[in-house]
Chains A and B, each alone.
Chain A
Amino acid sequence: MNFFKKYIKRLNTPVSIAPLVVFRIIFGFLMGLSIVRFAWHGWIDSLYIQPVYYFSYYGFEWILPPDELGIYFLFGVMFLSSIGVMLGFWYRFSSLLFFLSFTYVELIDKTNYLNHYYFVSIVSCLMIFLPAHHYFSIDSQRNPLILKKLIPAWMVWAVKLQLGIVYFYAGIAKLNFDWLFRAMPLKIWLKAHTGLPILGELFKYDITAYLFSWSGAIYDLFIPFILINKRLRPYGYLAVIAFHLLTRWLFPIGMFPYIMIFSTLIFFDVSFHEKILKKAHLIFNVRSYQKSARKKLPLLPTKIIGILFTVHFLVQIVFPFRYILYPDYLFWTEEGFRFSWRVMLIEKAGYAIFEVTDADTGRKFEISNRAYLTPQQEKMMATQPDMILEFAHFLGKEMRQKGIKNPEIRVKSYVTLNGSGSRPFIDETVDLLKEKDSFKHKTWILPFQTTH
C-alpha cells in the first residue's frame, strides 16, 4: 500500500508542460499535413466516394457513409480541427472535433483499417483530456489565466506509455515462428526490392531477411526502454530515425514513419522541449509563464481523467491478447488480429468467388465482385473472414431485391499466407446467409493446414 501511495505521488509530481506542448504542435501539424496529402492523392474520392459498398465494423453498422458533400465537409472539419490542435485554438473543442471526425471516417470502411489510424484515433482521444493548450497557444494568449507551467507527471507519461505500447506490442507480435524462423513475410517483400541501389544487392539473400526480421523484433521490443534511459536515448533516437526511414523507403506506409519519428521526441528531457519553445518564442511573441496563473477548473477533475486513463491503458494491455480465446491459427483466421499493433506481419493474398443459389429453383450463378467492390476492397475482403461474411449478406440483400426470394450464398475462396501456397479458406458448403457475425469463433473458416 505504501508502495502504491509512493507511486501515485510520483505520478502526480508536477513537471514542466513543455513536452506536452511541443507534442501538441507536432501532432496537430502532422495530422494537418496527412490530411492534405490524403486529399492530394485523390483518396477522399477513391476511398469514400467511388465505392458503392463499404465494410462496417462489427457493432458500428450505424456509421453511414456520407454523400460527396458530406465527406468533403468531414475532411474539412478534420483539417481545420487539426490546425486548431496545433495552434491551441479552442483546443478542447478542436481536439474533440478532430477525434470525432477522424474516427468517424475510419469507421466508414474496414478496408482501410491501418494500425496507424488506430494509433491516431487513440492519441487524439487522449489529447482531448490533456491540458496541452495551457502554454504557447492561442487559447493561453487570449486568456492568460489558463497559463500553466507545471502539470502532473502522468500526463506526459500517458503519451509515452501509449507510444511504448505500440512498439512493445508490435515487438511481441513478431515473436512467432514465421517471423523468426522463416523470415516471413520479409523474405518475400525484400526480394521485390533487389533492384534498389546498394541494399538491393543484400536483399537477394535470405539471410538479409532473417537479419531484418530479428533486428526488427529486437528494435520494437526494446526501443521504448532505450528511449526512457537518458544515457541510451541519443542512440535510441538515431535507431528510431534509421528504422523508420528504412521502412518508409521500402514499403508504402505513408506518413506513419514521420509521425513516429517526431512523436518519440516526447521521450526527450524537459530541457530539450523548453529549448525548442524558447527558440519559438523568438519568432512568435507569445505570453510566457511569468504572469501568475490562477487555477481555472478544467473540464473534468484531474482525478477522474486519471482513472479514465488507467482504465484505457489496462484495456490496451489486455486487448491484444484476446486472440488466445480463439482456436486455430491467428494469422489465418484473423480473429482478434486488428487493434493489436500487428504491423507488417503477414503477406496474405486471396481470391473469393461468390456463388448464388436460388433455393426455389436450384439454379446457381457467380457474382462479379468488381461490380460492387474496388480492387483494394476486393483484395482485403478475400483474406478476411468477417469481410467475406459481410459481403455475402450484402449480396443476399441485392439478390432479394433482384427478385430471388430465397437466395443462398456460398463462397469458394483460396488464400496464401506467408508463401504457404493457396489453399481453401472458407467452407464452400456453408450458406453464409445463415451465419451471423459475432465475437465467437467462425466455424466455417477451414483450418490452416501446414503441409510442410
Chain B
Amino acid sequence: MKKVYILIVLAVWISGCSSDSSSTEAVEFDQKVLFENLGTNLILPAYQDLVQKVTDLELAVNEFTATPNNIKLTSLREKYIDSYQAWQVASFYEFGPASAENLALSVNAYPTNAEEIDKNIQDNTSPQDNLEKGFPALDYLLFGIAENDDQIIEKYNSDALAENRKTYLKSVIVDLKKRINGTYDLWQGSYLQTFVTKEGNDAGSSLSLFVNAILSRYEADLKNSKFGIPAGVSVGQIEPLPEMVEAIYSNNSKALALTGITTFIEIFEGKNGTGLSDYLKELGTKASDGTPLEEKIISQLNDAKMQIQNLPETPLNEVIKSDKTPVADIYYTLQQAVIYLKTDMTSALSIQVSYQDGDGD
C-alpha cells in the first residue's frame, strides 16, 4: 500500500513538473454527441435532400421525354444541376450504407464513356459499366450529344434512335434513384442508431469508418479526380488531361468543386454542432509550429476554397489547356491539408486502419 502511495505521489509530482499545465484538466469529449450531430444534422439531411432532388429530376426526365422541347430541356437541366450539387454534399459518406451500394463509383465515375453510351443506345441496352451511367452520363446526354440545344432536342425527337435514347436516359435515372434511395433507406432504418453507438477507435468504430471514408473521398475525388488528374500532377501520368474534368459537357466543374470543398469544411467543423475540429480542440492537439491543429486545418482548407473561387469562369478544361498552374496549385494546397488530416489528426485521435493485431506489451 505504501508503494502505491509513493507511486501516486511520484506521478503527481512528475505531472506537476511537466511542461503542460493541463494535467489536472479533464478532456471532456463525448463521441456520441459528435456522431449524433454528424448523423442527424449532416449525413441524414444530405441524403434526404439528394433523394428529393433526384425524385424531382426523375419527374423532369419523364416530362422531357414525353414532350422534348426547349422549355422542358431547360427545366430538366436545372434539376440535373441541382441534383449533382446535392450529390457533392452527400458524396463524402462512403461507408456503411453508401459503401454497401457502392454509391460513389456508381453515381459519379468520370469522365463518362460517351462512345459506349452511344453504342448502348444503338443496341438499346441499359448501362453496362459505371462509366456509362450516373451524373456524368447525364452530363453527356443533356449537354454533350450535339452541338447546340436545338440539335440536342432533335436527338430526342425525330432522330432515328430517339426512342432508344429516351429509354437509356430513363434507365440511367432509375439506377441513380435506386442506389440513392437504397442508401437513404438504410440510414433512415437502423444505421443511424448503429453509427451513433459504435464508440471507440478500433477499425470497426464509427470514428474510424467515418474519418477514413471522408479522407478517402477527399483524396480520391476532391483532390485527385477534380484537380490532380486533369492538371496532370497526380498518379502516374505525365501530360495534363483536361478532358478528365468533372461535368465537362455542362461546364460546371468549378461550381461542383466549390460545393465539395465547402461541404468538407462543414463536415470538419460539424456545421453548427460538434465536429472533428471540436474533438481536436478538446484534446489540445498542436501542429508542429505550435498552432492548434484544427485552426491549421481550417485555414488550409479555406486557402483551397479561395483558390477554387478565384478560378476563372471559363470551363476548367480550357483553363488547364491555357495554363495548368492555378489548377495544380489547388491540388497542392489540398494535399497539404491531407498531411494534417491523415498524419496529425488520425494520430491525435489514434484511429486504426485495420483490425490487425498491434504490438503487445
Contacts and interface: CB of A to CB of B under 8 A. Distances in A.
Contacts of B148: none
Given A41-B355, A366-B234, A375-B354, A421 B199 contact: no
A358 interface: yes
Interface string A235-264: 000000000100100011111110010000
A368 B236 CA distance: 7
21 contacts: A114-B358, A183-B15, A183-B18, A194-B29, A207-B24, A210-B23, A214-B7, A252-B352, A252-B355, A252-B357, A254-B357, A254-B360, A350-B343, A358-B238, A361-B238, A365-B234, A365-B238, A414-B343, A421-B344, A422-B339, A451-B290
A353 interface: yes
B343 A368 contact: no
Q: Which of B14, B32, B200 has the most CB of A within 10 A?
A: B14
Contacts of A181: 14, 17-18
A25 B287 CA distance: 51
Contact of B348 (A183, A188, A368, A375): A188
Interface of A: 41, 43, 46-47, 112, 114-116, 170, 180-183, 188-189, 191-195, 204-207, 210-211, 214-216, 218, 220, 244, 247, 251-257, 260, 343-344, 347-351, 353, 356, 358, 361, 363, 365-368, 371, 374-376, 379, 414-416, 419-423, 451-452
B266 interface: no
Contacts of A170: 361
Contact of B361 (A193, A253, A415, A422): A253
A361 B239 CA distance: 12
A215 B7 contact: yes
B160 interface: no
Contact of A195 (B30, B238, B348): B30
Given A365-B232, A368-B235, A419 B360 contact: no
Interface string B341-354: 01110111110111
**Closest 10 A/B residue pairs (Cβ):** A256-B360, A421-B288, A254-B357, A253-B360, A349-B347, A204-B26, A192-B201, A422-B343, A206-B23, A195-B199
Nearest to B4: A215
A116 B357 CA distance: 10
B343 A416 contact: yes
Contact of A251 (B287, B288, B343, B358): B358
B20 interface: yes
Given A188-B348, A210-B23, A422 B360 contact: no
Nearest to A170: B361
Kindly name the residue among A195, A220, A421 whose own CB sees the greatest number of chain B CB atoms within 10 A: A421
B335 interface: yes
A207 B11 contact: yes
Contact of A114 (B29, B346, B357): B357
Nearest to B238: A363
Given A218-B7, A347-B350, A365-B237, 7 more contacts: A47-B356, A191-B27, A205-B24, A349-B343, A351-B343, A375-B353, A376-B354
B72 interface: no
Contacts of A257: 360
Interface in B58-97: none
Contacts of A247: 360-361
Nearest to A368: B235
B43 to A, nearest CB: 20
B286 interface: yes
A399 B84 CA distance: 37
B19 interface: yes
A170 B361 CA distance: 8
Contacts of B236: 356, 365-368, 371
**Highest count of chain B CB atoms <10 Å: which of A188, A192, A350:** A192
Interface in B256-307: 283, 285-290, 293
B174 interface: no
A353 B335 contact: yes
A165 to B, nearest CB: 14
Q: Summarize A's interface: helix, strand, loop or mixed.
A: mixed
B100 interface: no
B12 interface: yes
- Interface SS of B by simple majority: loop
A421 B287 contact: yes
Given A207-B12, A423-B288, A344 B359 contact: yes
Question: Which of B19, B289, B344 has the most chain A CB within a 10 Å cutoff?
Answer: B344
Contact of B346 (A116, A349, A420): A349
B350 A255 contact: no
A170 B350 CA distance: 22
B360 A211 contact: no
A114 B360 contact: yes
B10 interface: yes
A195 B200 contact: yes
Contacts of B202: 252
B46 interface: no
Nearest to A344: B361
Contacts of B348: 188, 419
Given A368-B236, A452-B19, A214 B288 contact: no
A343 B290 contact: no
A452 B8 CA distance: 27
A319 B293 CA distance: 39
A414 B335 CA distance: 12
Nearest to B335: A353
Contacts of A452: 19, 290
Contacts of A416: 288, 343-344, 347
A375 B236 CA distance: 19
Interface string B233-255: 11111100000000000000000
A253 B7 contact: no
Nearest to B30: A195
Q: Which of B233, B237, B338, B353 has the most CB of A within 10 A?
A: B353
A328 to B, nearest CB: 17
Interface string B1-45: 000000110111011011110111111111110000000000000
B235 A253 contact: no
Nearest to B279: A191
B191 interface: no
A206 B20 contact: yes
A144 to B, nearest CB: 40
Contact of A344 (B7, B288, B360): B360
Given A210-B23, A414-B343, A421-B286, A376 B356 contact: yes
